[in-house]
Amino acid sequence: MNNKLIVFFDVDDIAILSRRSDYNEYLSFKAKRFNRYKMGDLGDLGDLSWFLGIRIIRDRTARRIWLSQDSYIDSITKRFHLDEGRTPNTPMATDELVPYSGKATEQEVLAYQQKVGSILYATIVTRPDAMRAATRLSEF
């Protein structure tokens, strides 16, 4: 619609973004799509602050936007008991990673895969700066 709207959706979650000056286009788009797909009017929830577990932080004055998965990262640190002890200053260890020379049990392998998978998800969605470190971990 004249490049005035941005639409994000995933299964049953939808976010429609527009400028205030394009509010009529937003209303038209919403009415047409919601009627066509029999979605019912969910109302306007106002400024987007969360979408698909990602926190949206806006600074309107500076015209900046940040995507944060801090709650997801906090949940995986608690899930894997990584919140006990010191936290690293960098996403990747400064020491060389040494492969485990013993034989890991199936349970240990599964636990490691779950940890690395959880980290990879965060890097794919909002933390590309940590991708190299997460990829390095997946080599083991």
Per-residue pLDDT of the chain (140 residues; tens, 9 = 90+): 457 888 888 887 888 888 888 888 888 888 887 777 666 666 667 788 888 888 999 998 998 988 888 899 889 889 988 877 777 676 666 777 777 788 889 999 999 899 999 989 888 888 788 888 888 887 77
User: Do 51 and 86 share a domain, yes or no?
Assistant: no
C-beta separation of 48 from 68 below 8 A: no
User: Do 108 and 132 share a domain, yes or no?
Assistant: yes
User: Do 60 and 87 share a domain, yes or no?
Assistant: no
User: Do 37 and 53 share a domain, yes or no?
Assistant: yes
User: Do 33 and 80 share a domain, yes or no?
Assistant: no
β-pairing, 13-18 vs 50-51, is unpaired
C-beta separation of 17 from 5 below 8 A: yes
User: Do 59 and 98 share a domain, yes or no?
Assistant: no
The H-assigned helical ranges of the chain are 23-36, 70-79, 106-125, 131-137
Domain limits for position 115 = 70-137
